[in-house]
Amino acid sequence: MKAFILVLTIGLITSTGIKAQEPTACGTALEDMETASIEELGAEYRRLASYNNPYCDTTNSDLHKLMQQIAKNMKESKANADQVVAELGEPYYRGPLSDYENQKVTVGRNGKMLGKVLPPQFKIPSGEYYVVYFWRNKDYLTFAFKAEQCAEYSWWEKGNYR
């Protein structure tokens, strides 16, 4: 009888197509991030980011790993800024470094903060144009472009002044 129940259960699982790993708010359903295409990585990143779950926005989470892999693939494929934005969504900052000074935070009327905070200039990779993502209100993923191709990317975490 036990063998019959086991066979029946295996048959039901096989016929219903239950996957070994179902997508969750914190976990990816991709089998291997390193072999996934940029489009697959981007779709999975957008799915996880759409949950806005602070419990999943942690260092070394699947969301963080997806951002790292997308950045690596963008550099390797020499993607342009529009391709980066297509996969990661609207950036925190986009433009030449010459606009950096105009983006710095200043204190306006009634103590209200104006502008944007960017990572320290010594941590920004060299380039002509930048696309910057601000994650967890403290970490930056910066893409640097030369001749309209992704030449470099860097991560900066708050408090990391090395």
pLDDT digits (tens, 9 = 90+) for 117-141: 777 666 788 899 999 998 888 888 9
Helix/strand/coil for 152:
strand
pLDDT at residue 105 in the model? 67
pLDDT at residue 57 in the model? 86
| Neighbour count for residue 35 (Cβ, 10 Å) | 8
| Separation of alpha carbons 153 and 150, rounded Å | 8
pLDDT at residue 24 in the model? 67
pLDDT at residue 159 in the model? 59
Residues of the chain with pLDDT under 50: 3-21
Contact 96, 129 (CB under 8 A): yes
Output Rg (C-alpha) for the chain, integer angstroms. Answer: 21
Contact 93, 130 (CB under 8 A): yes
pLDDT at residue 110 in the model? 75
Q: What counts of helices (H) and strands (E) characterise the chain?
A: 5, 6
pLDDT at residue 23 in the model? 62
3-state secondary structure string across 25-88: CCCCCCCCCCCCCHHHHHHHHHHHHHCCCCCCCCCCCHHHHHHHHHHHHHHHCCCCHHHHHHHH
pLDDT at residue 145 in the model? 97
Domains in the chain: boundaries:
24-157
Residue (of 147, 150, 106) closest to 132 by Cα position = 150
* Helical pair 38-50 and 62-76, crossing angle rounded to 10 deg: 150
The bridge status of strand 149-157 relative to strand 139-146 is antiparallel
Any residues with CB less than 8 A from the CB of 132 and at least 6 apart, and which? 91, 92, 93, 94, 118, 119, 140, 141, 142, 143
